[in-house]
Amino acid sequence: MTERLRNEGASPPRNSPGDSIAARGNDETLLQGIGLHTYYGVSHVLHGVDFSIRAGESLGLMGRNGMGKTTLLKTLLGLIRPRAGRVLVDGADMTRAPTYRIAQQGIAYVPEGRGIFPTLTVRENLVMAARAIGGSADWTLDRVLATFPRLAERINHGGGQLSGGEQQMLTIGRALMTNPKLLILDEATEGLAPLIAREIWRIVREIAASGIATVIVDKNHAAVTATTARSMILVKGQVVFDGASDELRARADLIRQHLGV
């Protein structure tokens, strides 16, 4: 277990960024962020963040609103450029690569807000994304529809006709149609009814069990730590915890300090 507790007001590290993550990395590491410093204008959002996820690993990324979670994801995906630090995909430097190049390496992103095509049918939303990464085509239309029976029932409905929960299922299903090695879900159950949220968590566990690496952002820390093997907490753009989810569940003090409302 690796745990790092830092002062919330700490300044960016002065030593070589990412020393600890480099030591951890190996050939199975899919995505790394090394010493990431990201800004919005003059606002310094990420302060030397180190991040990594390995093949088949499930990781929960948590923190209160405004702590840098989405900024970290967008930095890793090339949607925002870091002012300092590096992004590696399968060991290759992709810091300045366009987002589509990063996605082509087998990384799928389910953004907050979903982003489905409302005028396309469920079938069209899914089929348009279909591709095989590295020759793998395990996630076919039939498999996605079997995983999401609600989508099978609404296969010819327009995306804009679906409920919020169904749209989230469609967005996840569309990401799976790319046959990714890594699936990133930002605010996986945001705004969903409890019954639908439970269904989403069941599906997320099934996806993780299939061997796809997963990064999950959600405010429900109990569900996140029950679903993932590893957890990270961001506070003011710095990692204050990175370790086993079982360990975090046992640390009521950290949950109260950094995740409590």
**Residue-wise pLDDT tens digits, 127-184:** 999 987 655 678 999 999 999 999 999 999 999 999 989 999 999 999 999 999 999 9
**pTM score, whole prediction:** 0.85
Q: How many CB atoms lie within 10 A of CB 104?
A: 14
Non-local (6+) Cβ contacts of 259 within 8 A are: 62, 63, 64, 221, 233
Sign of CA dihedral 142, 148, 149, 155: negative
Instruction: Write down the pLDDT at residue 1.
Output: 44
Residue 257 reports pLDDT greater than 80 = yes
Instruction: Write down the pLDDT at residue 19.
Output: 40
**Residue-wise pLDDT tens digits, 34-93:** 999 999 999 999 999 999 999 999 999 999 999 999 999 999 999 999 999 999 999 999
Alpha carbons within 13 A on the beta-carbon side of 150: 18
Span 238-244, average pLDDT: 97
Give the H/E segment covering residue 31.
strand 29-40
Residue 20 reports pLDDT greater than 90 = no
Decide: 25 and 52 in contact? Cβ < 8 Å. Answer: yes
**With left for phi above 0 and alpha for psi between -120 and 50, is residue 187 left, alpha or beta?**
left
**In what order do the strands lie in the sheet containing 213-217?**
107-110, 182-186, 213-217, 58-62, 230-235, 238-244
Both structure tokens of 258 = 């950094």
Instruction: Write down the pLDDT at residue 63.
Output: 95
Query: At 199, phi and psi to the nearest 5?
Result: -65, -40
Q: Which of 26, 77, 259 lies closest to 184 in space, CA to CA?
A: 77
Supply angle C-alpha 203, 208, 214, rounded to 5.
105
CA distance 164 to 112: 12
Mark 186-211 as b/e (b = at least 16 C-beta within 10 Å).
Answer: bbbbbebeeebbebbbebbeebbeee
Averaged pLDDT of the chain: 88
Residue 2 reports pLDDT greater than 50 = no
Instruction: Write down the pLDDT at residue 113.
Output: 77
CA distance 224 to 127: 30
Mark 154-164 as b/e (b = at least 16 C-beta within 10 Å).
Answer: beeebbeebee
Q: Using the structure block, give the residue that is written with the tokens 């590491």.
A: 29
